[in-house]
Amino acid sequence: MTEKADPSPAAIKAWARLMRVSRQLVERAEDALKDGGLPPLAWYDVLHELAEAGEGGLRPFQLIERTLFAQYNISRLLARLEADGLVEKLRVADDGRGQTVRITGKGRETRRRMWAVYGRSIAELVGAKLSNDDLDTLSALLGRLRHPAMPE
Amino acid sequence: MTEKADPSPAAIKAWARLMRVSRQLVERAEDALKDGGLPPLAWYDVLHELAEAGEGGLRPFQLIERTLFAQYNISRLLARLEADGLVEKLRVADDGRGQTVRITGKGRETRRRMWAVYGRSIAELVGAKLSNDDLDTLSALLGRLRHPAMPE
DNA sequence: CCGATATCAATGCAATTGCATCTATATAGA
DNA sequence: TCTATATAGATGCAATTGCATTGATATCGG
């Protein structure tokens, strides 16, 4: 019976805050990267996943699962990263359709330089605003908003 | 001395959740609107502000303050809204540079139809996942992440 | 083995975004 | 008043996004 109910005021407020705050924070993190002459956040997300994945690399569709970017978006983002020499694409033996994407040394270096700025943004924008207990509470609440069957 | 510190694990986790969850939720709300043959969320944001503003309307720069959209973005969004007959632009007497933007009847109607879908998304994606107490806690925590000197 | 269907990834094209700049009016200061 | 600067908003152009589709290989059912 709660199927089509209008949202409660509390839900609307939480939604509005979530939308507004997340946009603000993204914008500020992006600005910090730009000011540092560094690539946008999206590049970091991909480089981060690839760095975690190690030498084995990842298939593009695995990046899609992990980052939530659209397929065409990953396809073109990888093309740009490759053009910049930050990743390399390798034919994969057992699947003629696909490829494996691996981060390069230059890619790791770029990721490190981005993290110096990005990590600082996170520390300032979030770490400095809430105690660790509050941060954990926030993480837990946000975790309950994830779509079912989402990793991490 | 905490100036340039790296972010704590708790901060990183909260940041990651915030980025991921907010993107997921936006995407799902956008999808719901699309499925209903309705305009994107950005239109709702503007129509909502204009509806709240009433007959007096708002100046574009006021919309920029309220919605956080970039100036060029508002400029073109308003052009599209006007082309669709959802808003109208009025010369304003005491400032020859500017204009006042007012929502039309059709604009109000569109906003209503969007809310039927958008509100339901909020109810499902947020209202159904957390108790009102938890929603209030979430709002409070997010509120502490706002950039200083931000409205609502 | 064969055709039907599913999956992986790329891409043409339209719409939107971002950046830098531009026009026009307003305001401040000499 | 006249010039310099600031503010409001629009816009040309490049980059990115979104959508739909395509090409290529894999897999499944018979």
Rounded-to-integer distance, Cα B50 and Cα B63, Å: 8
Rounded-to-integer distance, Cα B151 and Cα A70, Å: 33
Phi, psi angles (nearest 5°) of residue B87: -140, 165
Closest CA of chain B from A43, distance in Å? 15
Which tokens is B107 given? 């604009």
- The strand pairing partners of A99, in sequence order, are A91
The pLDDT assigned to B93 comes to: 72
Rounded-to-integer distance, Cα B67 and Cα B55, Å: 19
The pLDDT assigned to A68 comes to: 92
A29 touches strand C (CB under 7 A): no
Mean pLDDT of B65-91: 96
Q: What percent of chain A has pLDDT over 70?
A: 94
The pLDDT assigned to A3 comes to: 55
Identify which of B11, B22, B141 has the shortest CB distance to residue A127: B11
Mean pLDDT of B94-107: 94
A70 CA → D24 C1’, Å: 20
Judge contact between B15 and A119, C-beta under 8 A: no
Rounded-to-integer distance, Cα B5 and Cα B13, Å: 16
The residue lying closest to nucleotide D7, measuring its CA against C1', is B97
Shortest CA–C1' contact from A73: which nucleotide?
D17
Closest CA of chain B from A150, distance in Å? 10
Judge contact between B78 and B88, C-beta under 8 A: no
Mean pLDDT of A1-27: 89
Identify which of B23, B24, B123 has the shortest CB distance to residue A11: B123
